[in-house]
């Protein structure tokens, strides 16, 4: 079975003390993950060592960075390199979140460089893709997300692509008042898997986890995760509430 993943993205939220308590509350729930199930906490940079320490003794719980720089090192004040992440034992990194693409002008080319560096340093990229409202309304979402995969991932050999987690974000359904249905989630996830299959074959495509990043909540996680091509979620707001994220972890297949 493919990995099933509940990934928390705290974004720029919580104080250190609040984050530590949130982690304690979630871990104190004592959820025993199956070998194919994982829970990942993508936290702000100042909290990475704390998070890594909190999950160190937990089975299949992991710390993740929310971003990294696309250069190995240098005069890039305020940036964080993959080598720095590796040096503190962080093995996951979110790459290409829609907010990074929009607010920081991250291109598919830059994201390809980040993916390369992560893989070179044994860090698993959680690669985000997804279309804005204008693209969805034009009905060209399939071409849009396929291009994101092709320009940032399809330069990789098959054995490297196996090390990727993909997260689909329906940007058009986040904060717009519009809602993505479970059927729409399954449809685009199935399409993404078919794009990978066309390039690398069905066997590899069926091994890659694809997470849903469209307002996963405690009350819709079971339904979303039941979709055959949805392998968990990249969770924003609901990951900041212990009881909600506990329910989301429990909803994993």
Q: Are 220 and 240 in contact (CB under 8 A)?
A: no
pLDDT of residue 177: 62
Q: How many contiguous H segments (helices) and E segments (strands) does the chain have?
A: 12, 8
Q: Just list the catalytic residues.
A: 97, 169
From first CA to last CA, the distance across the chain in angstroms is 10
Six-digit token string for 174: 């986040």
Q: How far apart are CA 208 and CA 23, in angstroms?
A: 27
Q: How far apart are CA 245 and CA 247, in angstroms?
A: 5
pLDDT of residue 180: 81
Q: How far apart are CA 225 and CA 8, in angstroms?
A: 15
Six-digit token string for 57: 């003794």
- The domain 4-250 having CATH identifier 3.20.20.70: the answer here is yes
Query: What ranges do the domains of the chain cover?
Result: 4-250
pLDDT of residue 57: 94
Phi, psi (deg, nearest 5) at residue 63: -100, 145
Q: Are 158 and 204 in contact (CB under 8 A)?
A: yes
Q: How far apart are CA 10 and CA 188, in angstroms?
A: 25
pLDDT of residue 214: 86
How do the pLDDT tens digits run along the chain, 253 residues long? 899 999 999 999 999 999 999 999 999 999 999 999 999 999 999 999 999 999 999 999 999 999 999 999 999 999 999 999 999 999 999 999 999 999 999 999 999 999 999 999 999 999 999 999 899 999 999 999 999 999 999 999 999 999 999 999 999 887 676 768 999 999 999 999 999 999 999 999 999 999 999 889 999 999 999 999 999 999 999 999 999 999 999 999 9
Q: How far apart are CA 166 and CA 95, in angstroms?
A: 9
pLDDT of residue 56: 96
Query: CB under 8 Å, gap of 24 or more: what pairs does 141-148 form?
Result: 141/188, 142/188, 142/191, 145/188, 145/191, 145/192, 145/195, 146/191, 146/192, 146/195, 147/108, 148/96, 148/108
């Amino acid at each position: 079975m493919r990995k099933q993943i509940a990934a928390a993205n705290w974004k720029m939220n919580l104080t250190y003390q609040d984050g530590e308590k949130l982690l304690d509350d979630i871990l104190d729930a004592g959820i025993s993950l199956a070998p194919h199930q994982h829970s990942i906490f993508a936290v702000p940079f100042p909290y990475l060592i704390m998070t890594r320490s909190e999950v160190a003794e937990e089975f299949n719980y992991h710390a993740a960075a929310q971003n990294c720089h696309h250069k190995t090192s240098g005069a890039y004040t305020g940036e964080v390199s993959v080598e720095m992440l590796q040096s503190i034992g962080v093995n996951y990194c979110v790459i290409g979140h829609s907010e990074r693409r929009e607010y920081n002008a991250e291109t598919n080319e830059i994201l390809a460089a980040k993916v390369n560096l992560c893989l070179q340093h044994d860090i698993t990229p959680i690669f985000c893709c997804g279309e804005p409202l204008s693209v969805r309304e034009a009905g060209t979402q399939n071409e849009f997300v396929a291009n994101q995969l092709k320009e940032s991932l399809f330069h990789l050999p098959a054995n490297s692509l196996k090390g990727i987690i993909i997260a689909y974000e329906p940007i058009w359904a986040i904060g717009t008042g519009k809602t993505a249905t479970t059927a729409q989630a399954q449809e685009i996830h199935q399409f993404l898997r078919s794009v990978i299959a066309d390039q690398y074959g069905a066997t590899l495509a069926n091994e890659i986890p694809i997470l849903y990043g469209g307002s996963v909540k405690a009350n819709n996680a079971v339904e979303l995760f039941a979709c055959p091509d949805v392998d968990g979620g990249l969770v924003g707001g609901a990951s900041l509430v212990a009881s909600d994220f506990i329910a989301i972890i429990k909803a994993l297949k």
